[in-house]
């Protein structure tokens, strides 16, 4: 397996990047700084959130650390700008698998942490007046297989009887009412609870604008080629040499916010964070259409691995992601793939007529696929993100491996990383779920759950 998964130079244009911000191609200085207290690699949701929280947590009256953000392509041009925008916590699905394998306390930590994002981000967006279409609504997880619905129900009941508090928020709708409740043809059950949707590119660019105005040096179009230990630099504490084609930066601390592309710089993650290609589309609805207006977000779930997710937008368009059934049969299409420069042709065909096929009253809607794009997710082999100090690499940190599910994990995880970086706080004191801690034991783990979640196998670990 190659570890040369650097961001492709020519990622295709997703809908979310059609209104580029003035910082999209920003370079704070013409040349790279020679030294920086902290270098963050990656300017997506993770990198921008980390920079924001580091500055927030710097004690007032102290000089903030110098921070440089190095981004291979444009600002926020990776998965964050290519996703479904679904801020949907998992409070009962993969959480039931976690409970079975790691116990109810660990499962409840994950569920509570994810659920907290929905309102933490809402409050943050409202307080800071961020224009990013953040909407809190109900997610409707629509079940299209009775067997799978029963399996989920069993897991849910076990979570409740074992006292998993966050799961209580989920409400089940049974077969009799499922189709009328969801408006989805053939629905045999639904699960509903609070979730959000967001224009993540706009959120991230707001964070970048804020931190750049506070002195952070943002350098787009600057791929990092290598990170090695350093003994040079003016400070005796200088540790890391961050190399790019535009020069080298000596940094005291380095933070990898590189998600799918992590193994290119940290090869020890090669078997633990795998680039996985996914796809989304935007379905447009003509103004004269009489199709019912969608106000909730949806997941349409046919089984453990085959599902789509939908977020409706104020202009009535709908962003739909998934389409796995159209391309999962050929691993070369999606597994260990970091090229986001072209569409998955089978997915394009799959999205055609999607609303007409699946939603009651949409048959004559004239809804049409207006744009399809791909993006690269960082799937972790055990299903949990890697967060914290990189094992054996002092002053190197990681926040990556979100398995297509980073929206309800990253913002508060970045707050935790900032505590570790600014305040030397131990992972265990950050409040982050214990299972998210990166560790040598996780790196040494041989098992890979990603392919177990495919057709003919057990449950999928991706949780959108
Ligand atoms: C098609 C698709 C649909 C998705 N839908 C959802 C969804 O609806 N809900 C959800 O929760 N999650 C979803 N996800 C996942 C979610 O988008 C990610 O978990 C999240 O955006 C990860 O953020 P990040 O900052 O870690 O990664 P990214 O946004 O990928 O940022 C990493 C950045 O690092 C840069 N980088 C990497 N290597 C280097 C290097 N060597 N030098 C310099 N820069 C480098 C990259 O260019 C990139 O900009 C989806 C993802 C995809 C692809």
User: What atom in ligand 1 is closest to the CA of residue 200?
Assistant: 21
Contacts of 175 (CB under 8 A, 6+ apart): 146, 149, 188, 189
Q: Under a CB-based contact definition with an 8 Å cutoff, are residues 403 and 385 in contact?
A: yes
Residue 128 has pLDDT above 60, yes or no: yes
User: What atom in ligand 1 is closest to the CA of residue 404?
Assistant: 15
Ligand 1, atom 4: closest residue by C-alpha: 83
Q: What is the pLDDT of residue 463?
A: 44
Question: 143 by DSSP, 3-state: which?
Answer: strand
Contacts of 192 (CB under 8 A, 6+ apart): 138, 139, 140, 141, 170, 171, 173, 296
Q: Encode pLDDT of 102-123 as tens digits.
A: 999 999 999 999 999 999 999 9
Mutate to test the pocket of ligand 1, among 83, 267, 348, 387 (most ligand atoms within 8 A of CB): 83
Ligand 1, atom 35: closest residue by C-alpha: 42
Q: From the CA of 426, how far away is ligand 1's center (Å)?
A: 26
Nearest Cα residue to 77 out of 374, 450, 461, 305 = 374
CA distance 59 to 326: 51
Q: Encode pLDDT of 17-27 as tens digits.
A: 999 999 999 99
Residue environment code for 203-223, b if the CB has 16+ CB neighbours within 10 A, otherwise e: bbbbbbbbbbeeebbbbbbbb
The helix (run of H) or strand (run of E) holding residue 243 is strand 240-244
Q: Encode pLDDT of 291-306 as tens digits.
A: 999 999 999 999 989 9
Which residue is it, tokens 């002053």? 395
Binding site membership of 432 for ligand 1 (Cβ less than 6 Å): no
Q: Encode pLDDT of 425-437 as tens digits.
A: 999 999 999 999 9
Binding site membership of 42 for ligand 1 (Cβ less than 6 Å): yes
Half-sphere exposure of 376 (CA within 13 A, CB side): 28
Ligand 1, atom 51: closest residue by C-alpha: 83
Mean local confidence (pLDDT), 394-401: 97
Q: What is the pLDDT of residue 134?
A: 98
CA distance 159 to 167: 7
Binding site membership of 259 for ligand 1 (Cβ less than 6 Å): yes
Nearest Cα residue to 331 out of 463, 464, 448, 459 = 448
Q: From the CA of 157, how far away is ligand 1's center (Å)?
A: 33
Q: What is the pLDDT of residue 232?
A: 63
User: What atom in ligand 1 is closest to the CA of residue 259?
Assistant: 26
CA distance 58 to 80: 26
Residue 5 has pLDDT above 60, yes or no: yes
Local confidence band at 165 (pLDDT 50, 70, 90 cut-offs)? very high
Mutate to test the pocket of ligand 1, among 281, 310, 404 (most ligand atoms within 8 A of CB): 404
Alpha helices in 35-174 (DSSP H): 45-57, 94-102, 104-128, 146-161
Mean pLDDT of the chain, nearest integer: 95
Q: What is the pLDDT of residue 235?
A: 58
CA distance 207 to 46: 11
CA distance 36 to 69: 10
Residue 458 has pLDDT above 80, yes or no: no
Q: Which two tokens stand for residue 357?
A: 């096929």
Mean local confidence (pLDDT), 29-47: 98
Question: 267 by DSSP, 3-state: which?
Answer: helix
Mean local confidence (pLDDT), 1-15: 85
Q: Under a CB-based contact definition with an 8 Å cutoff, are residues 90 and 193 in contact?
A: no
Binding site membership of 405 for ligand 1 (Cβ less than 6 Å): yes
- pLDDT above 90 coverage of the chain, percent: 92
Q: Under a CB-based contact definition with an 8 Å cutoff, are residues 336 and 1 in contact?
A: yes
The helix (run of H) or strand (run of E) holding residue 206 is helix 200-213
CA distance 189 to 207: 39
Long-range contacts of 427-431 (CB under 8 A, 24+ apart): 427/387, 427/388, 427/389
Residue 263 has pLDDT above 60, yes or no: yes
Ligand 1, atom 19: closest residue by C-alpha: 406
Q: From the CA of 171, how far away is ligand 1's center (Å)?
A: 31
Residue 73 has pLDDT above 70, yes or no: yes
Binding site membership of 321 for ligand 1 (Cβ less than 6 Å): yes
CA distance 459 to 94: 8
Mean local confidence (pLDDT), 267-283: 97
Residue 343 has pLDDT above 80, yes or no: yes
Binding site membership of 196 for ligand 1 (Cβ less than 6 Å): no
User: What atom in ligand 1 is closest to the CA of residue 402?
Assistant: 19
Residue with the larger pLDDT of the pair 455 and 358: 358
Mean local confidence (pLDDT), 68-79: 98
Q: Under a CB-based contact definition with an 8 Å cutoff, are residues 359 and 290 in contact?
A: no
Residue with the larger pLDDT of the pair 369 and 230: 369
Binding site membership of 385 for ligand 1 (Cβ less than 6 Å): no
The structural domains of the chain, ordered by start, are: 15-82+201-272+382-447 (3.50.50.60), 87-196+274-381 (3.30.9.10)
Which residue is it, tokens 């029963």? 150
Binding site membership of 313 for ligand 1 (Cβ less than 6 Å): no
Mean local confidence (pLDDT), 138-150: 97
Q: From the CA of 245, how far away is ligand 1's center (Å)?
A: 23
Residue 1 has pLDDT above 90, yes or no: no
Q: What is the pLDDT of residue 2?
A: 42
Which residue is it, tokens 């040349």? 31
Q: What is the pLDDT of residue 230?
A: 86
Ligand 1, atom 32: closest residue by C-alpha: 258
Ligand 1, atom 53: closest residue by C-alpha: 375
DSSP 64: P
Q: What is the pLDDT of residue 451?
A: 86
The helix (run of H) or strand (run of E) holding residue 175 is helix 175-182
């Amino acid at each position: 397996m190659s570890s040369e998964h650097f961001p492709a130079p020519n990622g295709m244009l997703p809908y979310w990047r059609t209104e580029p911000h003035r910082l999209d191609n920003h370079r704070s200085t013409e040349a790279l700084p020679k030294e920086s207290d902290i270098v963050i690699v990656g300017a997506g949701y993770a990198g921008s959130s980390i920079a924001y929280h580091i500055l927030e947590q710097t004690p007032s009256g102290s000089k903030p650390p110098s921070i440089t953000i190095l981004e291979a392509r444009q600002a926020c041009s990776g998965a964050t700008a290519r996703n479904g925008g679904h801020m949907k916590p998992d409070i009962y699905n993969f959480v039931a698998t976690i409970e079975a394998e790691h116990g109810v306390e660990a499962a409840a930590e994950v569920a509570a942490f994810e659920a907290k994002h929905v309102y933490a981000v809402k409050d943050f967006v409202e307080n800071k007046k961020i224009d990013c279409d953040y909407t809190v609504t109900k997610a409707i997880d629509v079940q299209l297989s009775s067997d799978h619905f029963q399996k989920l129900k069993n897991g849910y009941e076990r979570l409740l009887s074992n006292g998993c508090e966050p799961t209580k928020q989920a409400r089940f709708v049974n077969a009799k009412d499922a189709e009328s409740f969801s408006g989805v043809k053939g629905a045999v059950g639904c699960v509903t609870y609070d979730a959000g949707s967001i224009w993540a590119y706009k959120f991230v660019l707001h964070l970048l604008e804020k931190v750049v105005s506070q002195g952070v040096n943002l350098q787009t179009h600057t791929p990092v080629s290598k990170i090695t230990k350093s003994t040079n630099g003016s400070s005796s504490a200088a540790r890391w040499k961050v190399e790019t084609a535009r020069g080298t930066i000596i940094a005291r601390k380095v933070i990898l916010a590189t998600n799918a592309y992590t193994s290119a710089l940290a090869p020890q993650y090669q078997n633990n964070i795998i680039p996985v290609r996914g796809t989304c589309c935007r379905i447009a609805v003509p103004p004269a259409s009489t199709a019912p207006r969608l106000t909730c977000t949806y997941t349409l779930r046919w089984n453990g691995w085959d599902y789509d997710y939908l977020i409706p937008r104020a202009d009535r368009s709908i962003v739909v992601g998934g389409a796995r059934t159209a391309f999962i049969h050929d691993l070369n299409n999606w597994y260990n793939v970091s090229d986001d420069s072209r569409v998955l042709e089978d997915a394009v065909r799959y999205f055609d007529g999607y609303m007409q096929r699946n939603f009651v009253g949409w048959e004559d809607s004239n809804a049409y696929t207006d744009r399809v794009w791909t993006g690269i997710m960082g799937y972790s082999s055990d299903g949990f993100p890697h967060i914290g100090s990189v094992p054996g690499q002092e002053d190197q940190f990681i926040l990556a491996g979100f398995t297509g599910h980073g929206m309800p994990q990253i913002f508060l995880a970045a707050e935790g990383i900032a505590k570790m970086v600014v305040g030397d706080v131990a992972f265990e004191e950050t409040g982050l779920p214990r299972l998210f801690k990166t560790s040598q034991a996780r790196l040494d783990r041989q098992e890979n759950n990603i392919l177990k979640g495919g057709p003919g196998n057990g449950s999928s670990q991706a949780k959108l």
